[in-house]
Structure 1
Amino acid sequence: MAAPLVLALVTAAIIAMAADHTSATPPSLVTFIFGDSLTEVGNNNYLQYSLARSDFPFYGIDYKNGKPTGRFSNGRTIGDIISEKLGIPSPPPYLSLNPNDDVILKGVNYASGGAGILNDTGLYFIQRMSFDDQIDYFENTTKVIKRKIGERAGNNLLNEAIYFIGMGSNDYINNFLQPFLPDGQQYTPDEFLDLLRLKLAEQFTRLYLLGARKMIFHGLGPLGCIPSQRAKSTSNQCLHQVNEWVLQFNSKIQKMIKVLNLKLKHVQLTFADTYQDVLDLVDNPTKYGFKVSNTSCCRVDTSVGGLCLSNAHVCRNRKEYVFWDAFHPSDAANEVLADRFFSKLFSNLNGSAASAPNQG
């Protein structure tokens, strides 16, 4: 199934770049993005009481106009860079749109900082859009699309669209690994993973029933190596146990995706495994032109959340740092990772990330 999916994606991208899109005509390539702070482009800015925000001055310092946009980075997200490579605009945040805005025909970003697979993940951020919330908003979008262009054309648009999904990091970082939250006390690691797997299968199925067919799930990276987790080590090393749990998550979700590909008619679910790419970037930063991978460019206080607040000190040589703050890659690191992600996913070779989910 990998070759048909890759061919469809690349063909659609070529058509999209050549097409003359108007606001009333759906584009040839439509992307819907679901995720957390790694792919958010500003939804949480519209949540009045959300504590998961990145509207502080240093965020966006290397983005257009040098102003914060709601991206948890000094510049672009991986999603932004993938959109650039596909020759399409990065989809706007859902909450920034008028419900009847024609731009929804070109794609929407539902990602929300603090979001998780589980609805109680990130609860202490007060407001955030969980994966279930994001799917609720997507369901609203499907209804508007069908009202605009008709049931048949709407279904075709939804079936042909590409769905990028990145979820699960917060379920560990801002849930299971937090000693003051109940899930870490209530469940063993295996039980928690089963909970995530079952919930995610339910969510994929719901997206499928709403019209999604070409879904790409971005597996988790080595969370034990992000600065917020390293800070828990007396020697500032990666937390091996956390990385082991991440590898188990990735393995289980890959197997679950294989089952769904057999169970759901015409679905093309792909697991994009970039764990080793991220780990190599962290372990061998100089190979990619970086100098620092064990701490963040923005000098953050991990005891109060690890975000780059207004009074923080920011490094000048931002292109030399893999991490921007305690959780998120820098713009330069996102570019490297997006290049690797894109080349694997859109390669005709049978690499692990490009392989169909029902293969080895």
Structure 2
Amino acid sequence: MFEIGPIGCIPSFTKKLRPNGRCNEDYNALAVIFNNQLSDMLKNLTSTLQGSAFILGHGHWLGYDAIINPSVYGLMDPTSPCCITWGNGTSACIPELVPCRDADKHYFWDGYHLTETIYRVIATKCFNETSLCIPKNIKELVEN
């Protein structure tokens, strides 16, 4: 199960509520509160449901880091959607319009969803590393 990402940074919020395009840290703080409770709930479920294995994906801080340090992840535009959207980047892609040519350099596909590039980073880290998905990565879960 994955945490809620930095919802205060998604274009559907920043374009409406923050004309400067910066993240709404109040929204991000609410996501952190939820994520902490999610972590506690999964620990409780793991201890009470014998034989169960719950993996928590710490996607919030990875996502936030990619937005504030885009070059580390090979991104050029961490705030604007790749496709042309209704409402100045605040919703879904407009059908039949060609998306950007450099989707791999964007964090957001549309006003809500991440690009394949970001999902690939998350999947790779969660499969192979122990920093993102805990208490085991996906590879360890399958092997055990």
Counterpart Cα distance in 2 of 1:321 and 1:312? 17
Which residue, 216, 223, 228 being the options, matches 2:7? Answer: 223
Unaligned 5+ segments in structure 1 are 1-216
Say if 1:272 and 1:333 are closer, same or farther in 2 by CA, change over 3 A.
closer
Contact 2:59 2:132 in 1 (8 A): no
Say if 1:304 and 1:297 are closer, same or farther in 2 by CA, change over 3 A.
closer
Say if 1:255 and 1:287 are closer, same or farther in 2 by CA, change over 3 A.
same
Counterpart Cα distance in 2 of 1:226 and 1:305? 9
What is aligned with 2:133? 353
> TM-score normalized by structure 2?
0.83
Higher relative contact order by CA 8 Å / sep ≥ 6: 1 or 2? 2
2:72 alignment partner, SS class: helix
1:295 alignment partner, SS class: strand
Deviations 1:273-308 (A, max 9, x none): 121111111111111111001111112123796111
Say if 1:305 and 1:227 are closer, same or farther in 2 by CA, change over 3 A.
closer
Residue 276, structure 1, aligned to residue 61, structure 2: yes
Which residue, 33, 37, 42 being the options, matches 1:252? Answer: 37
Counterpart Cα distance in 2 of 1:304 and 1:283? 19
Which residue, 308, 326, 335 being the options, matches 2:120? Answer: 335
Contact 1:302 1:326 in 2 (8 A): no
Deviation at 1:353, TM superposition (A): 2.7
Alignment of 1:83-162 (within 5 A): none
Contact 2:83 2:109 in 1 (8 A): yes
TM-align CA RMSD: 2.1
> TM-score normalized by structure 1?
0.35
Contact 1:290 1:321 in 2 (8 A): yes
Deviations 1:123-157 (A, max 9, x none): xxxxxxxxxxxxxxxxxxxxxxxxxxxxxxxxxxx
Tell me the percent identity.
Answer: 24
Deviation at 1:355, TM superposition (A): 2.0
Alignment of 1:249-328 (within 5 A): 249-302=34-87, 306-312=91-97, 314-328=99-113
Deviation at 1:220, TM superposition (A): 1.1
Say if 1:330 and 1:258 are closer, same or farther in 2 by CA, change over 3 A.
same
Contact 1:223 1:242 in 2 (8 A): yes
Unaligned 5+ segments in structure 2 are 137-144
Contact 1:277 1:340 in 2 (8 A): no
Counterpart Cα distance in 1 of 2:132 and 2:90? 34
Q: Which amino acid aligns with 2:19?
A: T
Contact 1:274 1:341 in 2 (8 A): no
Contact 1:227 1:326 in 2 (8 A): yes
Counterpart Cα distance in 2 of 1:254 and 1:329? 23
Q: Which amino acid aligns with 2:134?
A: A
Counterpart Cα distance in 1 of 2:59 and 2:111? 20
Counterpart Cα distance in 2 of 1:310 and 1:352? 34
Contact 2:81 2:89 in 1 (8 A): no
Query: How many matched pairs?
Result: 135
Counterpart Cα distance in 1 of 2:33 and 2:109? 27
Counterpart Cα distance in 2 of 1:353 and 1:317? 29
Counterpart Cα distance in 1 of 2:109 and 2:97? 12
Counterpart Cα distance in 1 of 2:112 and 2:127? 22
Counterpart Cα distance in 2 of 1:303 and 1:338? 30
Q: Which amino acid aligns with 1:226?
A: I
Counterpart Cα distance in 1 of 2:87 and 2:41? 34
